[in-house]
Amino acid sequence: MKLESRFLLIFTIAIVLFVIFGLLIQYFVIIPAIEKGESTIVKDDYARCIKALQDETIFRLAMAIENRDTDTGEHIKRIDKMTVLFCEKIGIESEDCIKYGLASTMHDIGKIGIPDSILNKPDKLTENEYSLMKKHCNIGSNILDGSKIDILNIAKEIALNHHERWDGKGYPSGLKGENIPLSARIVSLADVYDALSFQRVYKKIWSLEKIIQFLQESKCGIFDSELVDLFLAHIIEFEAIIDKYKQK
């Protein structure tokens, strides 16, 4: 299936979900409440249903994309939970922690524009293939651009910047240090930790000891050193997320 066709199919499914949920809300919530004269309840229930629909649609779209180059959709569940945990430890308000978590699930949405032959290649990518792979950041940003929904704006920020490095040697913009959005710095660390914890077509599983050593050595290079220290201080809680949402 061509990339354009796959993209169209995924978003068609999203639209169908919106329509179905809209009809269900109307039939089971709005009409009965109007008949009872409960206009306030209608408003509150409608808002809750729309929020649930929004969150579910975002998550399902992320799963559809992730399933192309990971064994299951468990990867994005782990990234979601780890991002929320990071935010909680930093001291971000609870409601915003949830937003960051959901937004993190869209970090690789741009991979919809990358061929399967590159995503699932077991060998080292050629220079040309790697250049094409790096474009997924800009593709993801373009897909999410212009939204009026907070979560999608955060998702755009993450999609564009989660491969930037603290030392400025990342991509696509070569941002350095705190010029990299906090959301992207968090997801970058969570994503790498998760990738190293599981087998991929191009690598074997790393031991926890090896991962910890790598993260220690990558402070102020790849990652924000404060985030690495925070992660290591709560390693048991992050490991619990890995254990709970293992690939099926």
Q: With pLDDT > 70 as the criterion, what percentage of the chain qualifies? A: 69
Instruction: Identify the band that residue 53 occupies on the pLDDT scale cut at 50, 70 and 90.
Output: low
Same domain, 155 and 235: yes
Interval 204-225: pLDDT, tens? 889 999 999 999 999 999 999 9
Give 222-227 contacts, CB < 8 A, sequence gap 24+. 222/165, 222/166, 222/167, 222/170, 222/188, 222/192, 223/165, 223/166, 223/185, 223/188, 223/189, 223/192, 224/166, 224/180, 224/185, 224/189, 225/166, 227/86, 227/185, 227/186, 227/189
Q: What is the pLDDT of residue 203?
A: 73
Average pLDDT over residues 151-180: 96
Same domain, 28 and 88: no
Same domain, 62 and 78: no
Q: What is the pLDDT of residue 4?
A: 44
How far CA 242 is from CA of 80, 190, 220, in Å, comes to 11, 11, 25
Same domain, 120 and 17: no
Same domain, 29 and 91: no
The residue range of the domain holding 44 is 1-66
Q: Which residues are catalytic?
A: 111
Q: What is the pLDDT of residue 57?
A: 66
Interval 100-117: pLDDT, tens? 999 999 999 888 888 888
Domain boundary among 66, 95, 117: 66
Residues 6 or more apart in contact with residue 204 via CB below 8 angstroms: none
Nearest to 220 by CA among 161, 167, 162, 164: 167
Same domain, 95 and 169: yes
Same domain, 91 and 192: yes
Q: What is the pLDDT of residue 71?
A: 53
Average pLDDT over residues 83-92: 97
Domain boundary among 19, 45, 66: 66
- Mean pLDDT of the chain, nearest integer: 82
pTM of the entire predicted model: 0.79
Domain boundary among 10, 37, 66: 66
Interval 65-84: pLDDT, tens? 666 555 557 888 999 999 99
Instruction: Identify the band that residue 144 occupies on the pLDDT scale cut at 50, 70 and 90.
Output: confident
How far CA 135 is from CA of 11, 117, 142, 169, in Å, comes to 21, 15, 11, 16
Higher-confidence residue: 139 or 51?
139
Higher-confidence residue: 219 or 62?
219
Q: Is a pLDDT exceeding 80 seen at residue 35?
A: no
Residues 6 or more apart in contact with residue 120 via CB below 8 angstroms: 68, 69, 201
Same domain, 122 and 40: no
**Two structure tokens written together for 190:** 């969570």
Nearest to 108 by CA among 220, 51, 184: 184
Instruction: Count structural domains, the chain.
Output: 2
Q: Is a pLDDT exceeding 70 seen at residue 94?
A: yes
Buried b (16+ CB within 10 A) or exposed e, 24-56: ebeeebbeebeeeeeeeebeebeeebeeebbee
Same domain, 2 and 103: no
Tell me 205's DSSP state: P
Q: Which amino acid is at 111?
A: K
Instruction: Identify the band that residue 1 occupies on the pLDDT scale cut at 50, 70 and 90.
Output: very low
Higher-confidence residue: 89 or 45?
89
CATH number at residue 230: 1.10.3210.10
Distance CA 57, CA 46 (A): 16
Q: What is the pLDDT of residue 147?
A: 82
Q: Is a pLDDT exceeding 70 seen at residue 121?
A: yes
The partner residues of 203 in beta bridges, in order of sequence, read: 200
Same domain, 11 and 92: no
Average pLDDT over residues 156-179: 97
Same domain, 213 and 103: yes
Q: Is a pLDDT exceeding 80 seen at residue 201?
A: no
Same domain, 137 and 206: yes
Residues 6 or more apart in contact with residue 89 via CB below 8 angstroms: 230, 234
